[in-house]
Amino acid sequence: MALIEFNKPFGVMCQFTNEPGGPVRPTLADFIKMPGVYPAGRLDLDSEGLLLLTDDGRLQAQIADPRFKMPKTYLVQVEGDPDDATLSPLRIGVRLKDGMTLPAEVERIDDPALWPRDPPVRFRKIVPDCWLKLTIREGRNRQVRRMTAAVGLPTLRLVRWRIGDWSLDGLAQGEWREAAS
């Protein structure tokens, strides 16, 4: 059984081929040369960070299926300067168009030591920004971005740092390694 930890760069598609007739973008095939592995979950084109790939369908389901409630931790740069009252709704659940989210763990953190993003995040001198560490236990489409927007904190940069016990610790952007399952 293979399990791969991959640090997905911004702008890379979470699949091995481009859509026929669609724009040509970087894909997993540009980075990972191991046949038979597939992503366990997804990261949006404009999100970065940890993506797990495996050749084990059962493990893939345990990682990706919301029924298993595997924690996923994100480092999120948001526009704004939130206090505890602003973050509180995230901790109890936020109403989105597709229903209430489960409670998230969230805290403000110092700027993390991350690789530069290409292209860089847009900055506005008159609007403050900060970093949050946010952990969710479900995986709806663009969930973290929608949750932060719902509390008035648009996401500027989103990096998935951890899935369960697997993390990006020591893994450079665009690199992958075999992991213990």
In the chain, what are the domain boundaries? 3-168
Class of domain 3-168: alpha beta
169 alpha carbon, distance to own chain's centre: 15
- Are 173 and 9 within 8 A, CB to CB? yes
- How far, in Å, CA of 89 to CA of 5, rounded? 32
Q: Is the pLDDT of residue 67 over 90?
A: no
What pLDDT, on a 0 to 100 scale, did the predictor assign at position 181?
61
Residues 4-44 have pLDDT tens digits of 999 999 999 999 999 899 899 999 999 999 889 999 988 99
- How far, in Å, CA of 30 to CA of 21, rounded? 19
- pTM summary value: 0.94
Q: Is the pLDDT of residue 81 over 70?
A: yes
Selecting among 30, 44, 56, 111, the annotated active-site residue is 44
Whether 46 sits among the annotated catalytic residues: the reply is no
